[in-house]
């Protein structure tokens, strides 16, 4: 039995997307059982809320549930749906709900249940202390906030799925499909999961969030020194980076700048600049009107081989492959506006 835990403010697709995947998997399981003349071991699931009553989704729909969380003891798995909110402070600030869910999650995990969540649902597992010392992922746009809040978690924000000690985390919103397929593989078998993915046109090879991440212009911190450093670096992409020169321009020591930068961004200055250069290159490639080599020159890499290696390490695909996949999409979006 897979329990799907819901509460106010979730996306309806985060519930019914996985349910549709499980439904499709059961159809395949039935077909396989008929061919093998064997009994079908179908997947089962139910929806649960904290009080056993219906919840309201982010779009205002009222979603009925099958009962109250914790009534029937441990399950094979618990799928924790994610809150669709921009302000995680207000969500986590609802301490009664967070602490109640945390206690129930710890109980389920201790009893041997697989815990699965996606996107901002990872915050709930982290609040419960279940991700301390373990790998996890979350929505790419929340990675810096998540890392600052939960430094004991080994965050791998570029990954679509992480899994350790019966805890599975998914990345941005639609990773609930990848998460559902993983649960199908666990409880229905890898072959059923593969066939389900083909039937529903889900790409099981989507292993990185990096190609989908956007350049976030908000620096996300209050350190004015670091913000000035970032703006100078962003304005001089084509210049060779020198930490000593940047520190001198800001009238601080290299050690101070490096320390403040890491505190504010969780990155060293050069690592931040490399990431920013790659993001700018992604935007250029999406237009379809520049070559990977030209994009490399534009962001300060005269050696295309070096740029290509960096791009592939950061994004998960080569510059040419990224352009092939996303340039047409961006043109279509531009035409629709």
Mean pLDDT of 118-137: 94
pLDDT exceeds cutoff 70 at 270: yes
Q: 33 pLDDT exceeds 90?
A: no
Architecture of the domain whose range is 2-210: 3-Layer(aba) Sandwich (3.40)
User: Which tops the pLDDT comparison, 266 or 253?
Assistant: 253
Q: Which two tokens stand for residue 174?
A: 């639609």
User: Superfamily assignment of 224-336 in CATH?
Assistant: Homeodomain-like (1.10.10.60)
Domain spans in the chain, listed from the N-terminal domain onward: 2-210, 224-336
Q: Are 189 and 196 in contact (CB under 8 A)?
A: no
pLDDT score at 235:
80
pLDDT of residue 276 exceeding 60, the answer is yes
Looking at residue 337, its pLDDT comes to 42
Residue 29: is its pLDDT beyond 70? Answer: yes
pLDDT band at residue 215 using 50, 70 and 90 as cut-offs: low
Question: What's the predicted TM-score (pTM) here?
Answer: 0.65
Across 94-98, 139-143, 325-329, least confident range = 325-329
Task: Give the confidence band of 190 by pLDDT, cuts at 50, 70, 90.
Answer: confident
- The span from the CA of 296 to the CA of 280, in Å, is 10
Return the number of other C-beta atoms located less than 10 Å from residue 127's C-beta. 19
Across 304-320, average pLDDT: 92
Tell me, what's the pLDDT at 157? Answer: 81
* pLDDT average, residue stretch 250-264: 93
The residue ranges of DSSP E strands in the chain, in sequence order, are: 2-5, 45-49, 55-56, 62-63, 67-68, 77-80, 114-118, 135-136, 154-155, 161-164, 167-170
pLDDT band at residue 207 using 50, 70 and 90 as cut-offs: low
Backbone angles phi, psi at 141, to 5 degrees: -75, -15
Count how many residues are written for the chain: 337
The segment with the largest mean pLDDT, out of 10-19, 87-96, 152-161, 321-330, is 10-19
Distance CA 153, CA 133 (A): 5
Q: What is the pLDDT of residue 205?
A: 64
Residue 82 has which token pair? 């994610």
* Spatial separation of the C-alpha atoms in residues 234 and 135, rounded to whole Å: 31
Q: Which helix (H) or strand (E) holds 329?
A: helix 319-336
Would the pLDDT of 269 be above 90? yes
Q: What is the mean pLDDT of residues 10-28?
A: 94
pLDDT at 330: 44
Q: What is the pLDDT of residue 335?
A: 45
| pLDDT higher than 60, residue 16 | yes
DSSP 164-219: ETTEEEE-STTHHHHHHHHHHHHHH-HHHHHHHHHHHT--TT--BSGGGPPP--S-
């Amino acid at each position: 039995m897979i329990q799907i835990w819901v509460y106010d403010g979730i996306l309806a697709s985060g519930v019914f997307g996985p349910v549709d995947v499980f439904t499709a998997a059961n159809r395949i399981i039935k077909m396989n059982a008929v061919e093998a003349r064997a009994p079908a071991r179908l997947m089962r699931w139910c929806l649960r809320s904290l009080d056993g009553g219906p919840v309201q989704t982010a779009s205002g729909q009222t979603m009925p549930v099958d009962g109250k969380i914790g009534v029937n003891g441990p399950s094979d798995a618990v799928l924790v749906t994610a809150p669709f909110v921009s302000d995680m402070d207000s969500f986590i600030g609802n301490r009664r709900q967070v602490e109640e869910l945390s206690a129930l999650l710890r109980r389920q995990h201790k009893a041997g249940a697989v815990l699965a969540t996606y996107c901002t649902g990872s915050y709930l597992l982290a609040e419960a202390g279940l991700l301390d010392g373990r790998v996890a992922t979350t929505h790419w746009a929340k990675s810096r906030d998540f890392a600052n809040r939960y430094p004991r978690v080994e965050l791998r924000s570029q990954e679509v799925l992480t899994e350790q000690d019966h805890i599975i985390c998914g990345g941005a919103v639609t990773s609930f499909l990848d998460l559902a397929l993983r649960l199908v593989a666990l409880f229905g078998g890898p072959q059923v999961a593969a066939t389900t993915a083909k039937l529903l046109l889900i790409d099981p090879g989507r292993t990185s969030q990096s190609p989908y991440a956007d350049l976030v212009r908000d620096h996300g911190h209050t350190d004015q020194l670091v913000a000035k450093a970032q703006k100078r670096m962003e304005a001089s992409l084509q210049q060779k980076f020198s930490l000593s020169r940047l520190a001198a321009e800001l009238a601080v020591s290299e050690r101070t700048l490096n320390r403040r930068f890491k505190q504010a961004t969780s990155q060293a200055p050069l690592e931040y600049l490399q990431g920013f250069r790659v993001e700018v290159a992604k935007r250029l490639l999406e237009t379809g009107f520049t070559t990977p080599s030209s994009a490399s020159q534009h962001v300060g890499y005269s050696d295309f081989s070096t740029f290509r290696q960096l791009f592939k390490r950061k994004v998960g695909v080569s510059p040419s492959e990224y352009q092939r996949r996303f340039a047409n999409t961006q043109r279509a979006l531009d035409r629709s506006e």
